[in-house]
Amino acid sequence: ELQQKVEETELLKMELQMLETERVRLSLVEEKLMDVLQLLQQLRDLNISKRALGKMLLSTLESCRDPQPGKAQLFEVLDTLQQELAACELLHRQPLEQAQSPRSLSNPLVISC
């Protein structure tokens, strides 16, 4: 009877460890998803075209067609999409345009040629 309790305890420990591992994995997926959503929001605010977003998404899906061994496919897709979105030129031009906007709009009645 004592041996049975020890075995049950070991099984419960293993289940707990598996649940903790899954919780950590889901937490990482959630963080990556939040990063992707933030990038999408920034690009939407910059009025990126639907065509450009579609190209990035298709490029991501194409590059993740054959999953790499040992890597969760969902996380791989999210990671690749995040990299594609972060590499978008609009995001890198944004600070420059914002820096120029206040100077050019300081007097809306002035027309530059």
Using one digit for the tens of pLDDT, what is the confidence trace for 37-76? 999 999 989 888 899 899 999 999 898 887 666 667 888 8
Q: What's the CA gap between 9 and 3, in Å, rounded?
A: 10
Q: How many domains does the chain have?
A: 1
Query: What is the b/e burial string over 91-106, where b = at least 16 CB atoms within 10 angstroms of the residue's CB?
Result: eeeeeeeeeeeeeeee
Is residue 110 in a domain? no
Domain with 27, as residue range(s), is 1-65
Give pLDDT, residue 108: 41
What's the chain's average pLDDT? 81
Give pLDDT, residue 13: 97
Give pLDDT, residue 71: 62
Using one digit for the tens of pLDDT, what is the confidence trace for 8-33? 999 999 999 999 999 999 999 999 99
Does residue 97 have a pLDDT over 80?
no
Is residue 38 in a domain? yes
Give pLDDT, residue 7: 95
Is residue 79 in a domain? no
Give pLDDT, residue 92: 76
Q: Are 59 and 77 in contact (CB under 8 A)?
A: no
